[in-house]
Amino acid sequence: MPTCSCPRHSLLCIIPPYMLETMAGSSDPEVRDWAVRAIEASADARATRRTLRAMPAMAAAMSPGGERQRLVYDARHQGMSSLPGRLARTESDPKVSDAAVNEAFDHSGTTYDFYSTLFGRNSLDGNGMRLISSVHVGASLNNAFWNGQQMAYGDGDGRVFVRFTASLDVVGHELTHGVVAHECNLVYEAESGALNEHFADVFGLLVRQWKSRQTAARASWLIGREIIGPQCTARALRDFGPGLAYENDPFLGSDPQPKHMRHKYTGTDDNGGVHLNSGIVNHAFYRFARSVGGPAWKIPGAIWYEAMRKLSSNSGFADLVATTEMIAAARHGQDGTVHRALRQAWRDVGL
């Protein structure tokens, strides 16, 4: 895996650093330039993220009356320091001609409705936080960010990636980082950081499955397939299943995510493997959901949501295992099929 000197307080973004590092080593100068710009954009936003992580409640701008309120801005290809940009659509406005604005608006609304309908949660903080998004951030920017206060979406370069608002599970993933911040506020490094990414991946996928009414058996279990550009051979950014999301891609290389603890990444890149090692717990959730059957947002999703709320900022994999097993036993019986399926899923990935 390419090396990446990622600082401790990394930005919460959908494209992991190892992907950008691989692109930065491309023989194609245009691809190299796009990767460098994405890396620089991450660096520009880290100061805001570092400050807001320590006080997430202060970053939450309340909506009037505590009701759903979406605000979508057009950054007009300016950098992260110019956010949010020009207001392009509010909660009461009709659809506009800009597809990215409409996608950011619709997908953030679907994510809000998912948490509200299934868990009685009022926005990311549980108290009616405004959902603020900026589209057209940067020039051909290959990433989407949650900076602790709002969403920022790049348009992609048109070859490796296309606009990041196109994927509902990408939007759900990034907004879930906001939910995590207001619940257990998992430190973004090593196993706690991998759990942060894991919860974002799980609920990002469940938002899409819930919207599409897909069962665990019918769902694809791929993250970000809609943002893959026309010159990529990748199927998606990540795959919860046993396969690789991409292999020998001309720009991205091969998917390095492990699916078992025996292959856990133990180095310092990627903040100690936050995007890498999330693949282990992602695969456990996949195996559990497929074993239980039916819609994954019902039994598995409910157990995971409660577990997220019970964890602390420094929780690791063992804490998630113990907490989910406790919840499954309490809700479905110590010797019930749900608890047995969960224990087997954890064993299958070496936990």
Burial level of 230, CB count in 10 A (0-12/13-18/19+)? exposed
181: three-class secondary structure by DSSP? helix
Q: Does domain 190-348 have CATH number 3.40.50.150?
A: no
Q: Quick: pLDDT tens for 259-276.
A: 999 999 999 999 999 999
Predicted model pTM: 0.92
222: phi then psi, degrees, rounded to nearest 5: -105, 140
**What distance in Å separates the CA atoms of residue 105 and residue 112, rounded to the nearest whole number?**
11
Given this model, what pLDDT does residue 311 score? 98
The list of the chain residues with pLDDT below 50 reads: 1-10, 46-52, 55, 57-60
CB 201 within 8 A of CB 223: yes
Residues marked as catalytic: 174, 275
For 223-289, the three-class secondary structure string (H helix, E strand, C coil) is ECHHHECCCCCCCCCEECCCCCCCCCECCCECCCCCCCHHHCCCCCHHHHHCCCCHHHHHHHHHHHH
**What distance in Å separates the CA atoms of residue 243 and residue 279, rounded to the nearest whole number?**
11
Given this model, what pLDDT does residue 67 score? 84
Question: Per-domain residue ranges for the chain?
Answer: 12-182, 190-348
153: phi then psi, degrees, rounded to nearest 5: -120, 130
**What distance in Å separates the CA atoms of residue 314 and residue 184, rounded to the nearest whole number?**
9
Given this model, what pLDDT does residue 11 score? 62
Q: Quick: pLDDT tens for 95-125.
A: 999 999 999 999 999 999 999 999 999 999 9
* Lookup: tokens for 273: 């493997």
Given this model, what pLDDT does residue 12 score? 80
Taking alpha carbons only, the member of 99, 84, 59 closest to residue 137 is: 84
CATH class of segment(s) 12-182 = alpha beta
